[in-house]
């Protein structure tokens, strides 16, 4: 293995591969255009059923969800009906590939790879959640004193509140976009500073700003989206395009520091398109199918529901009328009050989505909105399981698959579900018990979101009658499983790969390039980017 092998890994979390390729081709993204022309371009597929919560954990462990145990930020504690907001870096059952590289003496800089924690013995530096889409730990570093240096030199990440807290009015959109521009510019400066500190064996940085803008304002990019309005577009333009342009410029400054002996890998992990999930209808559908029961008295925890709803309305009114810059400062207080309200609206342990888990044959698990997860209340596994393993469980799963296949969108006549799959038929592993039993993948033919007042969605079948509800979320864009990558470096032949690689393939490939074999993984070597190594 040549001693000079170095890797620069740059990722765009949830960057849409079609937009990246189109805008690179027409010159909108000149730096990626150059990278695409000089490098090997390939397609990437995520984990079937788990490409939201498991994408990054599977990327950095090289194994499937049934082997690392992560499918969501909120997971059911096995042997209980208790839901826990997990700290993934502590919860995950497999080590990141950089732990193996570190023990082998490689020098590493791991900057803001999503959904990970600090490795306290890292041979190098690590930043966790200085600037990422999801916040679990808060900003922390290795070594710990690095945090003071980062804040003193670059300050905090400019985006101080979650993306979902930004509204759809023009001023909020403009404010959000400007904050993201500041984030990207500052992240580029931080990246260049640390990249120049030493001759790293592996250096990683992830731009998550495309993830944020895609969720919130996809409707301003997609003229076919129901939330698209020419008037708003005329005022604010295309925030998605603007954010991609800013990220491209940042990538250009980083690539300007790279020598010809460095292998560069750019990854767009999983893409974006219109929001389409109908998870908000699931509790009522399950109730109509006779497999789930509502939690009666979920609001009765010593608080008046009327008083609480009144307070909730007051909080919403104050938030709507507050100037957007004041909202940034008020967010921590609002978040505490929001959590208190939600805690008493049937969203806490044993009442997830308003269902009484103990007396239901199945219930929902948090698994993202595109592919929803169902857990069977299985005897011998759940504390008060109602469904026997074996034939009874098989029969229930088959019946649910049939029932969901018959439900249609009453506006279009199209099925609302693309597939219902059993997780155990897709994955096997020592931590399968942490995952949902059934995966409901919604049909994405119908866009949702973008209308501040919401719109009523009506679905039905002979068995459930008519079920209707209003999508009340802010998101107008959501994930799809496929992504792309570009690799450029010594011995890598430019062009396009015919085959599709897995998100799990990068971990063993990176370690192999650096002379370390990653043991017992599901990912395979991407031999096309090993080049002359």
Q: 216 near 163, Cβ under 8 Å?
A: yes
Does the structure show a pLDDT above 90 at 416? yes
Ordered alpha helix ranges (H), 358-505: 391-405, 423-426
Give the pLDDT mean for 68-94: 91
Question: Which residues does 116 contact at the CB level (< 8 Å), separation at least 6?
Answer: 56, 57, 60, 88, 89, 96, 110, 128
C-alpha distance from residue 79 to each of 50, 76, 315, 379, 383 (Å): 22, 9, 37, 11, 6
β-pairing, 371-376 vs 495-502, is unpaired
* Residue 112, phi-psi category: left (phi > 0), alpha (psi -120 to 50), beta (remainder): left
Give the pLDDT mean for 391-410: 97
For residue 127, what pLDDT is reported?
Answer: 97
Please report which confidence band the pLDDT of residue 429 belongs to, taking 50, 70 and 90 as the band edges: very high
For residue range 231-266, what is the model confidence (pLDDT) as tens digits?
888 889 999 999 999 999 999 999 999 998 999 999
For residue range 158-167, what is the model confidence (pLDDT) as tens digits?
988 888 878 7
Give the pLDDT mean for 513-530: 96
How many alpha carbons fall within 13 Å on the CB side of residue 296?
A: 2
For residue 495, what pLDDT is reported?
Answer: 96
Q: 13 near 215, Cβ under 8 Å?
A: no
Does the structure show a pLDDT above 60 at 211? yes
Specify the 3-state DSSP secondary structure of 71: coil
Q: For 353, list phi and psi in degrees, rounded to 5.
A: 60, 30
Strands, sheet with 456-461, edge to edge from the N-terminal-most edge strand: 408-409, 456-461, 465-470
Rounded Cα distance between 20 and 252, Å, is: 14
Please give the mean pLDDT across all residues of the chain.
Answer: 88
Q: 438 near 421, Cβ under 8 Å?
A: yes
Rounded Cα distance between 116 and 206, Å, is: 12
Least confident of 200-214, 221-235, 374-388, 433-447: 221-235
Return the higher-pLDDT residue of 453 and 36.
Answer: 36
How many alpha carbons fall within 13 Å on the CB side of residue 74?
A: 14
Instruction: Map out the domains of the chain as residue ranges.
Output: 6-274+478-529, 279-298+346-474
Return the higher-pLDDT residue of 455 and 212.
Answer: 212
Cis bond upstream, residue 143 (ω within 30): yes
Give the pLDDT mean for 303-326: 52
Does the structure show a pLDDT above 70 at 347? no
Nearest C-alpha neighbor of 388 from the set 374, 376, 400, 402: 376
SS3 letters across 192-213: HHHHCCCCCCEEEEEECHHHHH
Rounded Cα distance between 330 and 47, Å, is: 37
Give the pLDDT mean for 277-287: 92
Domain 6-274+478-529: which CATH number of 3.30.70.1450, 3.40.720.10, 3.30.450.40, 3.40.30.10: 3.40.720.10
Radius of gyration for the alpha carbons in the chain, expressed in angstroms and rounded: 23
- Write out the DSSP string of 384-417: T--B-TTHHHHHHHHHHHHHHHT-EETTT--BSE
Does the structure show a pLDDT above 70 at 342? no
C-alpha distance from residue 181 to each of 213, 268, 375, 469 (Å): 11, 19, 41, 36
Does the structure show a pLDDT above 80 at 318? no
Q: For 236, list phi and psi in degrees, rounded to 5.
A: -105, -10
Rounded to 10 deg, the angle between the 17-25 and 30-38 helix axes is: 90
**Count of Cβ atoms closer than 10 Å to residue 512 Cβ:** 17
Percent of the chain with pLDDT strictly greater than 70: 87
């Amino acid at each position: 293995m040549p001693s000079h092998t170095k890797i620069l890994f740059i990722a765009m979390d949830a960057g849409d591969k079609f937009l990246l390729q189109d805008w690179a081709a027409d010159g909108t993204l000149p730096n990626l255009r150059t990278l695409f022309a000089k490098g090997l371009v390939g397609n990437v597929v995520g984990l079937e059923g788990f490409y939201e919560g498991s994408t990054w954990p599977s990327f950095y462990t090289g194994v499937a969800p049934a082997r690392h145990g992560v499918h969501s930020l909120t997971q059911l504690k096995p042997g209980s009906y208790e839901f826990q907001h997990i700290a993934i870096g502590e919860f995950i059952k497999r080590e990141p590939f950089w732990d193996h590289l570190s023990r082998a003496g490689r020098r590493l800089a791991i900057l803001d790879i999503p959904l990970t924690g600090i490795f306290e013995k890292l041979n190098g530096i690590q930043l966790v959640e200085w600037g990422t889409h999801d916040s679990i730990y808060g900003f922390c570093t290795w070594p710990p004193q690095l945090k003071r240096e980062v804040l003193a030199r670059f300050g905090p990440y400019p985006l101080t509140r979650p993306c979902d807290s930004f509204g759809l009015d023009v001023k909020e959109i403009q404010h959000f976009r400007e904050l993201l521009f500041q984030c990207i510019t500052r992240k580029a400066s931080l990246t260049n500073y640390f990249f120049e500190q030493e001759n790293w064996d592996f250096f990683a940085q992830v731009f998550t700003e495309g993830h944020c803008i895609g969720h919130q304002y996809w409707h301003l990019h997609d003229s076919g989206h129901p939330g698209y309005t020419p008037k708003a577009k005329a005022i604010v333009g295309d925030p998605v395009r603007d954010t991609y342009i800013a990220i491209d410029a940042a990538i250009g400054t980083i690539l300007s520091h790279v020598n010809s002996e460095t292998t560069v890998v750019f990854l767009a992990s999983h893409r974006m398109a219109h929001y389409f999930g109908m998870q908000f209808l699931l509790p009522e559908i399950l109730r109509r199918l006779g497999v789930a029961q509502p939690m009666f008295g979920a609001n009765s925890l010593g608080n008046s529901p009327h008083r609480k709803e009144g307070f909730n309305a007051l909080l919403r009114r104050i938030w709507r009328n507050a100037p957007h810059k004041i909202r940034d400062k008020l967010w921590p207080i609002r978040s505490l009050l929001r959590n208190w309200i939600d805690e008493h609206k049937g969203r806490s342990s044993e009442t997830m989505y308003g269902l009484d888990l103990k007396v239901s044959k199945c219930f929902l698990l948090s698994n993202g909105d595109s592919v929803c997860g169902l857990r069977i209340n299985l005897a011998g596994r759940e504390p008060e399981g109602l469904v026997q393993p074996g034939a009874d469980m098989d029969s229930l799963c088959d019946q649910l698959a049939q029932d969901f296949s018959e439900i249609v969108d009453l506006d279009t006549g199209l099925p609302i579900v693309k597939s219902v799959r059993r997780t155990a038929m897709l994955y096997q592993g020592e931590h399968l018990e942490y995952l949902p039993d059934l995966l409901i993948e919604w049909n994405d033919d119908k866009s949702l979101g973008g209308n501040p007042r919401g719109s009523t969605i009506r679905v039905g079948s002979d068995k459930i009658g008519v079920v209707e509800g209003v999508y009340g979320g802010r998101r107008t864009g959501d994930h799809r499983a496929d992504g792309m990558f570009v690799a450029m470096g010594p011995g890598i032949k430019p062009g396009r790969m015919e085959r599709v690689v897995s998100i799990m393939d990068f971990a063993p490939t990176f370690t192999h390039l650096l002379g370390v074999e990653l043991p017992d993984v599901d990912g395979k070597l991407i031999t096309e980017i090993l080049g002359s190594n």
